[in-house]
Structure 1
Amino acid sequence: MNISMRVLALCGSVLSTGFAAQAAEISIAANSTGKGLNFIREQVSVFEKQTGHKVKIVSMPPSSSEQFSQYRLWLAAGNTDVDVYQTDVVWAPQLAEQFVDLTEATKDVIGQHFPSIVASQTVDGKLVAMPMYTDAPALFYRKDLLEKYSKQPPKTWTELAETAKDIQDKERAAGLKDIWGFVFQGSAYEGLTCNALEWIASAGGGRIVETNGDISINNEKAAAALDMAKSWIGTISPQGALAYKEEEARGIWQTGNSVFMRNWTYTYALGNGADSAIKGKFGVVPLPAGAEGIAPASTLGGWNVAVSKYSKHQDVAIALVKFLGSAETQKKRAVELSNMPTIAALYDDKDVAAAQPFMPLWKPIFETAVPRPSAATKVKYNEVSAKFWGAVHNTLSGTGSAAENLELLEVELTDLKGNGW
């Protein structure tokens, strides 16, 4: 019996109390980015048909910051209306006390997943969320345009800016007035934390708060990285990038109006969709480094599924969580959405490689991806991130210099830390 069948059999089995399991209705809160929500609907439908249980989907906003705020309110109130939560990789330390320990229930399958991702969802020895898919951003580039102008994908951010400006200017002169060199996520939200962490870490400027809890953000290399990004606004990136999240950047890119884009891997499948102006015209490579000799930095992302300790149907909720995180479901997600599996063996799967040729190349990126400092800052991470993205956004928009904003940020983080995280 394969993993999915064992998981589904659990739902129709006799509960430990000795009473036959009756059909239950549970709910899952899931985000609405891209085609992910439709995929969840399809998989939930399979789960319902094979188990007799009903699953209601509570659609959440695409902004992870807004989603987290709503989760925190529901869980603090002991909400019993939501049984399963789709969770960002950084939320485990903040919400651990509100979730069921999945260690025992997943012991038959958890060993298939990348150890680093399992560790990110383990708090005080308690597995608080089941890995569903992981992510690390890539640099998307217009292969046709780089070939047209005899350019290579950039290895550094400086090379990116130079190549982007050169191609942008030449394409505009040829009549493509709306094209830009580079689009990214510059809005004041969690996505900007990810972008800016990549700029700073790849420049040797640290990781905001280090693993030992030390606040490292106020340094010259970090300031230089932010000054570099500020120089993009209005030159190779539109002023509107200061309000872009993932989908706004993808919209510019997918209509053919950008040479480069920094985004998560879910956009690969969408870019090759039937309605895409750039289908078959682009490639992906790892993000650039800050300078020669310094490794690039890709922020570790991804989503997991957790069971609320307030759920009245925890057994059914756990079965759904295992089903959504199973090898079969992850393979479908990889093939259909280009979402990256958390199960290492799927990177060697011939069907996955055939559907997503770039995916096997990403396996080593996950082994060295840069985590956000959620483990170090624990329950205070969200405040740390908000203060960080605020300082970065001020810099990009011209409110204070990078050096001034990082000096102020250090003071704010020191005050927030107090006697310890």
Structure 2
Amino acid sequence: MRNKTILALGLLSTMLMAQGALATDLSIVHGAVGRDHDVLRAALDRYEVESGNKVTIVSMPERTTDQFAQFKLWLSARNADIDVYRLDVIWAPQIADHFVDLTDATKDIIDDFSPMALQSQKVDGKLVALPMFLGGPALYYRADLLEKYGKPVPKTWEELTATAKDVMDAERAAGHTDMWGYVFQGAAYEGLTCNAMEWIASSGGGQVVEPDGTISVNNEAAAKALDLAATWIGGISPEGVLNYAEEDARGIFQSGNAVFMRNWNYAYALVKGDDSPIKDGVAVTVLPSDGTHSPASILGGSHLGVSKYSKHPEEAIDLVRFLNNYESQKARAIDSSRPPTLMPVYDDKEVAEKVEFIPLWKPVIENAIIRPSAPTKTSYNEASSEIWTAAHDVLEGKTTGTKAVAKLAARLKRLKGSGWK
């Protein structure tokens, strides 16, 4: 009996040692806002139990501009320490050569993914990254305050400006001296490119650089949209908004110190969370327009790519598939209000019950406008920098909308040269 016990223990020890030998250590680099980190860690914990592998999260700064600069350094150096990258929706055309083509590895699941999301990640027929979640910004507003003062939800930028001021002034007169009318992403980074493109497109000014590569920004409608935004600074928006990213705006709004906020989907779970002081008074709607043109929301989102320099590409692909399966996308939708890229999740009853935001946002995602990363190709980063710089100069009062769009068009034409490359 004793010999059998020893033999059994020996076999068990051998099995455990074999499992340990087969286990793989992976890393995923991940820039997070809101609950993203915790939601990812929970998914990775499930993956580790299922696969036996271990995954380390390499955290990054909030701003995607800072993330991309670091990613390019790692990829240029052929860094083998990072297996999976969380990539912004606009990066595929610029860094495709550094990533594994996921076409064959995902052919059994790809039909359930958003066609638009997939298209954004294809470069010369190569699937650079598997879409993880989508984003479309909304206008968050204090429904309780609009009701209190008898104000309708604004549908135009002019209405937003007037309503924000009226409610802000009334709240300040009632003793809420820290109240502001509108907060958004006004810092000189990618977030301001998104805001500026939305102001311009929803005012009939085009998409700055059109899908065919034409530079269209030098027009009166675009100039007028920027000029209106400039009136917000120090008026309905704090001067500090010129340095705000997503979390800065959310912090002001969620603390109860703003009437309106422009932000992405992730903020919904936070402003409606149990610990949010404004959870019962918040609602969302589409962003305003000029009243003549359709509202415009920039397509956002993050996708997962496998580094060509990974020492464990098969395991890394398995991780990407796991993080984008139905269970993971459903959990992400519920826990962090991230719109899924797997279309069946939008019809999940539990998701609809727990986060009414997700099914309501499906048409917003489907009709979002896309930043010009495809037409500008490897020049997108420089093009975006020119866009946010022009917008920031107008917001700061350094120049007018008319001068800014003319200068922006000239600088984009110089960047384009004989053709975008």
TM over 0.5: yes
Equivalence for 1:346: 345
1:359 aligns with 2:358: yes
Equivalence for 2:300: 301
The CA distance in 1 between the partners of 2:404 and 2:291, in whole Å, is 27
Equivalence for 1:254: 254
The CA distance in 2 between the partners of 1:46 and 1:188, in whole Å, is 38
Give CA deviations for 1:267-297 in whole Å, capped at 9, x if unaligned: 11101222211011110001111x2231000
Shift of 1:196: 0.5
Equivalence for 2:185: 185
The CA distance in 1 between the partners of 2:90 and 2:153, in whole Å, is 30
Equivalence for 1:78: 78
Please tell me whether the aligned partners of residues 337 and 357 of structure 2 are also in contact (alpha carbons under 8 angstroms): no
The CA distance in 1 between the partners of 2:308 and 2:302, in whole Å, is 19
Equivalence for 1:376: 375
Give CA deviations for 1:24-77 in whole Å, capped at 9, x if unaligned: 111110013111011111111111111111111110111100000000111011
- Aligned runs of 1:185-264 on 2, under 5 Å? 185-264=185-264
Equivalence for 1:414: 413
Give CA deviations for 1:237-288 in whole Å, capped at 9, x if unaligned: 0101000000000000000000000000111110122221101111000111
Shift of 1:225: 0.4
Give CA deviations for 1:322-376 in whole Å, capped at 9, x if unaligned: 1111111000000111111112221111101111112211111111101000011
Equivalence for 1:314: 313
User: So what's the TM-score if we normalise by structure 2?
Assistant: 0.94
The CA distance in 2 between the partners of 1:50 and 1:344, in whole Å, is 25
Query: Any unmatched runs of 5+ in structure 2?
Result: 1-19
Please tell me whether the aligned partners of residues 164 and 260 of structure 2 are also in contact (alpha carbons under 8 angstroms): yes
Equivalence for 2:8: none
- Aligned runs of 1:19-418 on 2, under 5 Å? 22-289=22-289, 291-418=290-417
The CA distance in 1 between the partners of 2:119 and 2:285, in whole Å, is 27
Name segments (4+ residues, structure 1) moved above 4 Å: none
Structure 1 43/288 Cα, relative in aligned 2: closer, same or farther at 3 Å? same
The CA distance in 2 between the partners of 1:195 and 1:94, in whole Å, is 22
Shift of 1:151: 1.3
Shift of 1:197: 0.5
The CA distance in 2 between the partners of 1:213 and 1:244, in whole Å, is 30
The CA distance in 2 between the partners of 1:306 and 1:294, in whole Å, is 36
Query: Any unmatched runs of 5+ in structure 1?
Result: 1-19
DSSP 3-state at the match of 1:284:
strand
The CA distance in 2 between the partners of 1:172 and 1:24, in whole Å, is 58
The CA distance in 1 between the partners of 2:50 and 2:22, in whole Å, is 14
Give the root-mean-square deviation of aligned CA atoms.
1.1
The CA distance in 1 between the partners of 2:166 and 2:401, in whole Å, is 26
DSSP 3-state at the match of 1:351:
helix
The CA distance in 1 between the partners of 2:82 and 2:362, in whole Å, is 34
Shift of 1:150: 1.3
Aligned length: 401
Give CA deviations for 1:216-247 in whole Å, capped at 9, x if unaligned: 11111101000010011111101010000000
The CA distance in 1 between the partners of 2:254 and 2:361, in whole Å, is 22
The CA distance in 2 between the partners of 1:252 and 1:47, in whole Å, is 36
What amino acid is aligned across from residue 333 of structure 2 in structure 1? A
The CA distance in 2 between the partners of 1:194 and 1:277, in whole Å, is 28
What amino acid is aligned across from residue 195 of structure 2 in structure 1? N
The CA distance in 1 between the partners of 2:407 and 2:181, in whole Å, is 32
Shift of 1:22: 2.1
User: So what's the TM-score if we normalise by structure 1?
Assistant: 0.94
The CA distance in 2 between the partners of 1:86 and 1:108, in whole Å, is 22
Please tell me whether the aligned partners of residues 233 and 395 of structure 2 are also in contact (alpha carbons under 8 angstroms): yes
Please tell me whether the aligned partners of residues 27 and 81 of structure 2 are also in contact (alpha carbons under 8 angstroms): yes
The CA distance in 2 between the partners of 1:412 and 1:260, in whole Å, is 33
DSSP 3-state at the match of 1:302:
strand
Q: Which has the larger radius of gyration?
A: 2
What amino acid is aligned across from residue 263 of structure 2 in structure 1? N
What amino acid is aligned across from residue 363 of structure 1 in structure 2? K
Equivalence for 2:10: none
What amino acid is aligned across from residue 357 of structure 2 in structure 1? F
User: Identity across aligned pairs (percent)?
Assistant: 55
What amino acid is aligned across from residue 144 of structure 1 in structure 2? D
The CA distance in 1 between the partners of 2:105 and 2:318, in whole Å, is 9
The CA distance in 2 between the partners of 1:122 and 1:78, in whole Å, is 22
The CA distance in 1 between the partners of 2:229 and 2:186, in whole Å, is 10
Please tell me whether the aligned partners of residues 35 and 335 of structure 2 are also in contact (alpha carbons under 8 angstroms): no
